């Protein structure tokens, strides 16, 4: 099956990124835009833009019928969902298939299984991938008491239907268990329509390590190395790097192997990311979740492998075999990405949409900027605050870090507030250079400041 025309069901930098991948492969691109994004960079660079609805996401980028109508109406044979929005919505993947439009991603059933944390945890265990010591579904408070006692405090309650850091509550001791159990259950029911909970050991010194995987429908599976995304604020990644040079070599190898086994086991197709928690104190890693889409931080993997992951997504979706074998994958140097956002760190990271006056991204060797912004661009208030991804590549982590520092200094944006100075502070910190940081490091810096 050939893909000749792709509808891009997303916005911002990733829409522009997908347009570029389409151009590389000689595929026509149609970008679906809301009324607020009609003049976006992706709209200008795509072969065609189609306005699918007003600015509100429920009427545009989350409107499955409008997106399908746009795909069918423009003769697109595939839909690339990017990340966020409908990228991990199994009903949308199914609807695409029903209407004969190729969904650039895994099958709907895979998205459904891996989107449920409990189901995903069970699948991981089935394939021998270590999971955080904890429970399956907790039905009664009495069960929680016993399991929490077995695991040892502190423990975490997690909503089965949660994700992206939402629906997680920490319990420090037995006295907090009942109230937290009740709160977390009610919260899960309200936020996700599902009050099901499970318990996990709370890992105090944790690193977030994830493995990029790729699989085609001919049974070929690749792992493209790890990324360390431990620099987080409120479970949102800020700085990402590849490879995960700060954990022991044996752990890295074992983690990648686990990810590949899981990917193969579930008969996965297309790009995916298996996320792990690495426990620094115990030297163990545990499966967290699998993201069944392209990740925001995919460029660091592209930089160290020289592969175009978005183009590979389109090739695999078209039924082509993966363009490389595991033996042919070469890792070169070290890459770091910073997420540049329209946020005001001085005001509690309040979103700061508005009109950009001057947009001066840095240039130079080993420096890449994925963005949809330009001079005079109006950052709309309806969407997330990501403005750009600044990616640097160096021979080793030290060179990459130095390049990132220089690039951030040279990144000039006027007209709106950004987090550039905050990123400069983080990456210039001795703990960053020394690799002495875990997932709670950023929050600690903020409370110390």
Partner 1 sequence: MELTHEDVLNILELLEGSDVEYLELAAGGTKLIADRNGAGPGIRTATGERPSAEPPPVAAPDSEDVATQPESPQVGPGLVTVTAPVVGVFYRSPEPGAPPFTEVGESVAEDSTVGLVEVMKMFNGVTAGASGRVTEIFAENGAFVEFGEPLLTIRPESAA
- Residues classed as catalytic: 293
Q: Which of 50, 224, 294, 317 binds partner 1 (CB under 8 A)?
A: 50
Q: Is the CB of 69 or the CB of 145 nearer to partner 1?
A: 69
CA nearest neighbour of 346 among 413, 234, 421: 421
User: Cβ of residue 69: shortest distance to partner 1, in angstroms?
Assistant: 5
Q: Which two tokens stand for residue 264?
A: 């193969």
191 touches partner 1 (CB under 8 A): no
Q: Is the CB of 5 or the CB of 20 nearer to partner 1?
A: 5
Q: Which two tokens stand for residue 91?
A: 């009903």
The label of the residue with tokens 């039924």 reads 319
Q: Which of 66, 171, 369, 413 binds partner 1 (CB under 8 A)?
A: 66
As a whole number of angstroms, the distance between CA 335 and CA 390 comes to 10
Greatest C-alpha distance within the chain: 62
User: Cβ of residue 141: shortest distance to partner 1, in angstroms?
Assistant: 40
9 touches partner 1 (CB under 8 A): no
As a whole number of angstroms, the distance between CA 354 and CA 377 comes to 8
Are 184 and 177 in contact by the 8 Å Cβ rule? The answer is: no
CA nearest neighbour of 303 among 227, 192, 206, 388: 227
Q: Which of 70, 199, 222, 307 binds partner 1 (CB under 8 A)?
A: 70
Q: Which of 3, 9, 14, 49 binds partner 1 (CB under 8 A)?
A: 49
73 touches partner 1 (CB under 8 A): yes
What is the CA angle 171-177-180, rounded to 5?
75
134 to 173, contacts with partner 1 by CB under 8 A?
none
Are 128 and 110 in contact by the 8 Å Cβ rule? The answer is: no
As a whole number of angstroms, the distance between CA 330 and CA 305 comes to 6
42 touches partner 1 (CB under 8 A): no
380 touches partner 1 (CB under 8 A): no
97 touches partner 1 (CB under 8 A): no
Helices (H) and strands (E) in the chain, counts: 15, 22
27 touches partner 1 (CB under 8 A): no
Spatial neighbors of 132 by CB under 8 A, at least 6 apart, are: 200, 201, 203, 277, 286, 287, 288
Pairing state between β 155-163 and 102-103: unpaired
94 touches partner 1 (CB under 8 A): no
User: Cβ of residue 95: shortest distance to partner 1, in angstroms?
Assistant: 8
Stretch that binds partner 1, among 43-51, 210-218, 241-249, 406-414 (CB under 8 A): 43-51
User: Cβ of residue 448: shortest distance to partner 1, in angstroms?
Assistant: 47
93 touches partner 1 (CB under 8 A): no
* Kind plus residue range of the DSSP H or E element containing 250: helix 249-265
Q: Which of 65, 97, 346, 396 binds partner 1 (CB under 8 A)?
A: 65
74 touches partner 1 (CB under 8 A): yes
The label of the residue with tokens 């029911």 reads 189
Q: Is the CB of 71 or the CB of 215 nearer to partner 1?
A: 71
Total residues in contact with partner 1, by rule CB under 8 A: 22
25 touches partner 1 (CB under 8 A): no
Interface residues with partner 1 (CB under 8 A) are 5, 28, 30, 35, 47-54, 60, 65-66, 68-70, 72-75
């Amino acid at each position: 099956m050939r893909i000749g025309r792709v509808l891009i069901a997303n916005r911002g930098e990733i829409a522009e990124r997908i347009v570029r991948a389409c151009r590389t492969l000689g595929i026509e691109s149609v970008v679906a835009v809301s009324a607020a994004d009609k003049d976006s960079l992706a709209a200008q660079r795509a072969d065609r833009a189609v306005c699918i609805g007003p600015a509100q996401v429920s009427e545009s980028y989350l409107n499955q019928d409008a997106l399908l109508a746009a795909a069918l109406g423009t003769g697109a044979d595939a839909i690339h969902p990017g990340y966020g929005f409908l990228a991990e919505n199994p009903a949308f993947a199914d609807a695409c298939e029903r209407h004969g439009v190729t969904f650039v991603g895994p099958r709907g059933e895979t998205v459904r299984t891996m989107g449920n944390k409990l189901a995903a945890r069970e699948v991981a265990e089935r394939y021998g991938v270590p999971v955080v010591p904890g429970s399956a579904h907790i039905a009664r408070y009495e069960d929680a008491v016993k399991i929490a006692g077995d695991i040892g405090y502190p423990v975490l309650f997690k909503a089965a239907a949660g994700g992206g850091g939402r629906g997680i509550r920490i319990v420090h001791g037995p006295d907090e268990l009942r109230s937290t159990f009740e709160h977390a259950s009610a919260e899960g029911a309200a936020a996700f329509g599902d009050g099901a909970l499970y318990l996990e050991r709370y890992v105090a010194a944790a690193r977030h390590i994830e493995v990029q995987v790729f699989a085609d429908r001919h049974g070929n599976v690749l792992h493209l190395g790890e990324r360390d995304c431990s620099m987080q604020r409120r479970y949102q990644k800020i700085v990402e790097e590849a490879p995960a040079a700060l954990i022991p070599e044996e752990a890295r190898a074992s983690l990648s192997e686990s990810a590949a086994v899981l990917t193969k086991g579930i008969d996965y197709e297309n790009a995916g990311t298996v996320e792990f928690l690495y426990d620094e104190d115990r030297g163990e890693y545990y499966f967290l979740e699998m993201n069944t889409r392209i990740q925001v931080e995919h460029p660091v993997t592209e930089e160290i492998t020289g592969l175009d992951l978005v183009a590979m997504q389109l090739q695999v979706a078209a039924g082509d075999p993966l363009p490389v074998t595991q033996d042919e994958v070469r890792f070169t140097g070290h890459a770091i990405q910073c997420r540049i956002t329209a946020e005001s760190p001085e005001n509690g990271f309040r979103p700061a949409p508005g009109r950009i006056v001057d947009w001066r991204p840095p240039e130079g060797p080993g420096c890449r900027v994925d963005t949809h912004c330009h001079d005079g661009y109006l950052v709309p208030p309806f969407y997330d605050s990501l403005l750009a991804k600044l990616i640097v590549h160096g021979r080793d982590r030290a060179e990459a870090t130095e390049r990132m520092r220089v690039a951030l200094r040279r990144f000039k944006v006027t007209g709106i507030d950004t987090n550039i100075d905050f990123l400069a502070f983080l990456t210039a910190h001795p703990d960053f250079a020394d690799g002495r940081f875990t997932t709670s490091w950023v929050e600690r810096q903020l409370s110390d400041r």
